[in-house]
Each structure stands twice: as C-alpha cells, then as structure tokens.
Chain A
Amino acid sequence: MSAPQTLYEKIWNAHVVEQREDGTCLIFIDRHLVHEVTSPQAFEGLRVAGRRVRRPDLTLAVPDHNLPTTARLDANGNNIPIADPESAQQLEALERNAPEFGIAYIDATDVKQGIVHVVGPEQGFSLPGTTIVCGDSHTACHGGLGALAFGIGTSEVEHVLATQTLQLSQSKSMEVRVEGELGPGVSAKDVVLHITGVLGASGGTGHVIEYTGSVIRALSIEGRLTISNMAIEHGARAGLVAPDDVTFAYLKGRPMAPKGNQWDAAVAYWRSLATDAGAVYDKVVHINAADIAPSVTWGTSPEDVLPITGVVPDPSSFADPSKQTAAQKSLDYMGLTPGTLMTDISVENIFIGSCTNSRIEDLRAAAAVLKGRKKADNVKWAIVVPGSGLVKQMAEAEGLDRIFMEAGLEWREPGCSACLGMNPDKVPAGERCASTSNRNFVGRQGPGARTHLVSPAMAAAAAVTGRLTDVRALMD
C-alpha cells in the first residue's frame, strides 16, 4: 500500500509525464486560459519558431484586462471601438491569434465573456484534479474547485501552447486549517485577508497551500474561489480546497463539464483526491474563526491587514526593522497617521468587482447592504463590475442592478476594470478606494491611488457612509 498522500501530491503525481534525474518534472497541463495581456509575445514566439499549438482543444481565450466596462454595442448593435489605441491593439492581437492557432475565443460582446478566472469555473472548463495555468497570478483562484492552478509568465505561456506541459519542481505543501464558525458580517474575503495578515506576503512562498477545516467546508464555491484566488497574496504557488459535494453540485450541468456516464466516473475520481488520513504537510497553520473580524488593509502590501475595529499602526510597533521602514513608506503613500481609527478614514471611490469578488454571491452580499440606502455625497465614483456576462444576467434577473443604481452606484460591463486600471477605470491620484480587489500595491489602481482592500459587504457599507465602516453596524 502506498504512503498517505495530500491532495496536492495526488494531483502532482497524476500529471508527471517524465522525471529528470535532478528531480525536475515535465508536468502535463489539462487546461490553459489565455487573455490579451500576457499572450501576444507568446504567439509571436510560436510564429517566429514555426511552432503550432499542441492542444488547442485544452485552451480557451477570453479578453478581460483591457476592456472598457462601459457599453460595448451602440443602439444599432454595432461594436463601439475601444478608444485607447494600445488596448485596442492588444485585443486585436488576441482576436487574430486565437483563430490562427485554432483556439476557442469568447468575444467581448459574448454573454459568456468575463474575467478568465470567473469564466473558467462558470463554463465548467476548470475541473477538480486538473492542472490549470494562465498568464495571470490569480490563476490560483481555480484551486477553489480542487484544481492545481497557478499563474505563469509569457515564456511559460508559449511553452504550454507548444508542448501542453511545463518543466517544474514540486513545491512544498502547507495546510491552513480554519476551524470554528464565522461571525456575522464576516465573509470568505475577510478570512483570506486575515490569513494573509497572519502568514505575511511571503509566508507561502515555495508552497502549495491546502485550505481545510470547518470554515472552508461550509463555504460555497464562490467563497472558496475567493480564498484560493488570494493564495498568491501570501506568496503561495497555488491554493487548493478538496472537492466535495458542494463542488460537484456547482459543476453539474455546466457547458464544458462532463456529462452522463462520464460525469459519474469523474465524480468518483474527484472523490478519491482528498488528502489521505495520516498524510503529512511540510507546514501547518491553524486559524481560529473567532479571531476573524470584517477586515481591511491599511498599507501597500496585502499583509497590512487589520480588523475594521483597529487603528492605523505605528511603524515602530513592528519588530522587524525592514518592516518598520516599509510601514513608514506605506503610511506616507496612504496619507495616514498612526492611531487613527480605521472607521474614521473617508473614501471617495468604491470598486466592487475583480476575479476575487465579482461572482453572484459577492454582488448579492453588496446589494443586501445597499438595498434601500444611498451612497454618501463624498463618494464621487462607485462602480459595480460583474465578473462575467452571465453573472451580470443573473444579477439583473434578481434585480440587483436596480438596487445598485438606486443607491447611486454604476452598473458596468464585465472585466478586470479598476483592480489594475489597464482599462479607463482608475482611481485618481491621492484619493482612496474601498475595493473588493486583491492588491493594494502602490499605483495599482492608478498612479497615486490609495487602496483599502475589503469584502463586497464592507465596500457597500463604505459607499453608504463615505468612510471605512464596520458592516455589522448596518446589519439588522
């Protein structure tokens, strides 16, 4: 009998094509998502070398980063051209490259279009037990379904296109176990912000993290995707949640998911992937759900996390001298003074969206807070960007769009949007944004923009009061 294995080891071992003497493995890739930003140079490389795409049937292309989130069709149903010539050029390149190399392409005006990490699970393209890559660090997201999913650079995109494999060394394994019950107003986003605060931005470096425990088991797939999405923000190569009945119920009937007898065979295989009793992780971290409050970031690294009830820290309170320097730089950039109550910080911008928090459950959570309320006068710009056309359609069927618009928020078309501001959606220099995205880096949402990462319910609460707010104060 073989030794007990973790979920990660099982998926890894099932994908080894060849192992070199030095331990490096040639790993087969089951699913490759392609978007317009990190692929043009890869396709160009193939063209120059006269290489083809080995498995176009395992590859799916969707534009998301550059797309404006304003209307894409005019009153006559014609495409509205993209104003920024560089964005337009990048989209045209993908539009040209996908058919040239035989890859399925979801057009910007297709209802299935959206952020790659929303589209993959939604279409049933992302499946448990698979290896999934994309030229985007938030590919870790798909780990919420129990897939080994990770971001790659453009050279690796080219390598996967040409060979459907990657040369990789196995990572270490880590278990992050979250036990207990989440309090009111505490969501999956708060859990992952809290984990990032505990581990630090490099705490997971060199590891693949499996999130376990009663809190993770009780989460919906949307919540699990949110957690795994931010595995990269604590440095992990990938995040994983063991597939279970919640996963199977989510996937069943999705357009690209297995059907009929194959479905039953697939579920039987997926059930066998759970970490065996007695399997050993290289590192284990325990988190108590009772310690997790609605959370918010104060600095310019995702590890700069506080409960909303906290105060802006004094840089001298950190033990590590390099963290003291970093904290001072962060406070200067963020325009914050130590000792300030987080709930006294006013915000002028609200962004609800991104691959972390743009699924239907996220929009429902934000709408529940905004229903019957208005945004504060000092909030100048507040947008809700659904993760895909299908999320948008579902939200509109539920009347969520009307709740947002009646509250004074804008209801937009799907895409990455103000998470990184490659399209026109940017936060002005010196202004603050309560954002449901995943990074609060310097200049991330626009040059000089000041980002506070929060959950969808917390972003909605900030929209109502015009300052960072404990959403629990607005709950019945």
Chain B
Amino acid sequence: MQPISSVKGKAYPLGLKNVDTDIIIPAAWLKTISRSGLGKGAFQTLRSLPGNVFDDPAYAGAPILIAGDNFGCGSSREHAAWAMADLGISAVIAPSFSDIFSGNAFKNGLLAIVLPQDAIDRLMEVAKTDDIHIDLETQTVTTPFQDRFAFEIDPFRKHCLINGVDEIGLTLKSSDAISAYENKLSASQPWLSPNQA
C-alpha cells in the first residue's frame, strides 16, 4: 500500500444515499482476474444518465467523492475500491459507510471519511466551485472558506495508511502467537480440524 496523508482537489458532489456496490461496479466487471482497469466500469449505470457528475468537465479528474448515507452497501467486492481508485478517486466523504466497503477502501489506501450530514451538505455546496482538503494527520476536512470539520478514524488504520503498512507482513510477525493459539485450540476444540469429506 502506498502511504497517504492528505488529499486535496475537486470533489464530485454525488450526494446520493445507499450507493451500493452494484452501482459502483456492476457484476459484469467482476469476471476479471486482475485488479487493474476497472475504472472504465466505475459508476457505469450513473454515467449512462445525462448530466451526471462524473462526466461533468467541472469535476474532471476529481480525487474526492461526496456521497450520502450508507455508501458502498451490498456486496463484499473489493472491485468497488479498485474501480474507484482506477477512476482517480483517493477519498470518499459520506455520513456512513458499509463495514465491508470501508475495510476494502482502507486496504487500498482509499480514504473513507465519515462526517455528519450537515457537513456533507456544506461540502456539496463548496465542491461546486472550490477545492476540498482532507488531512489525515490532523483528521480534518477544510475548505478555502474557513470551514473545518474534524473526523474520527481507527488509530490502527490511520497508522497503516500514513505509513503504507503491508498488513500481511505485519501480521506474519505474530506467527508465533498464531501458532500458540492453534496449539491451544487443537487441544481444547479438536473437532475444529475438519474431517475432509
């Protein structure tokens, strides 16, 4: 994972609630065995509509997306995070995210920033004309108009994002603890080693 500590730039003012993973990337795009190239299918259904924010030149290349409640609900497909990253999006700001999507976003260095609806409403206005700045170190979202919104983030995730931590490598350092757990488990619950059918 590449380290990420801030994102600054234009933002797509999408604002929709319940943006599900089928909207972010339809199932037809899941047949790939690679992580790249999914930006072409990102938000395909929305992009088929005239006047959509993604094809509005005012927001071309925006690194931020602003959405409504429950962003990324639905499937566990990490293709959703890959597709958004491939489209050039580095951060999403919404009042809430589905648990699985926010995990997938984190694994790919895509910031999933939670702010209350009134902050979202304000940022939707600002995004029409000006840049938005997300700073992970200070956990704030700011605008050129002195708006300053603080957000919460899990400290472990913050650490991994800022330092670009390879999480599997990190966990593998705990191999001895995992082995000890496995030994304890095979003694207390021997049935957990399944009888392969």
Contact = CB atoms under 8 A, between A and B. Distances in A.
A130 B167 contact: no
Chain B's interface size range is: 35 or more
Nearest 5 pairs between A and B by C-beta? A258-B191, A153-B78, A155-B107, A202-B70, A151-B76
Interface of A: 17-18, 20, 22, 24, 26, 28, 30, 37-38, 40-41, 44, 49, 51, 54-55, 57-58, 65-66, 84, 86-87, 89-90, 93, 104, 112, 123-125, 127, 130, 135-137, 139, 150-156, 158-159, 162-165, 167, 169, 171, 201-202, 205-206, 232, 235, 237, 255-259, 262-263, 265-266, 269, 301, 303, 322-323, 325-326, 420-422, 439, 441-444, 447
B20 A441 contact: yes
B35 interface: yes
Contacts of B75: 136-137, 151, 420
B36 to A, nearest CB: 10
A474 B174 CA distance: 60
Nearest to A267: B191
Given A235-B70, A266-B189, A17 B177 contact: yes
Contact of B69 (A84, A135, A137, A202): A202
Contact of B194 (A125, A153, A444): A125
Contact of A167 (B27, B35, B171, B178): B171
B61 interface: no
A421 B27 contact: yes
Interface string B67-79: 0111001111110
Contacts of B164: none
B181 interface: yes
B48 to A, nearest CB: 9
Contacts of B178: 17, 26, 28, 54, 163-165
A109 to B, nearest CB: 16
Contacts of A155: 78, 104, 107-108, 167
Interface stretch (B4-12, B50-58, B93-101, B129-137): B93-101
Interface in B149-169: 154-156, 167-168
Contacts of B31: 37, 66, 84, 86-87, 89-90, 422
Given A151-B100, A155-B108, 8 more contacts: A57-B194, A154-B78, A159-B168, A159-B171, A164-B178, A201-B70, A255-B195, A326-B16
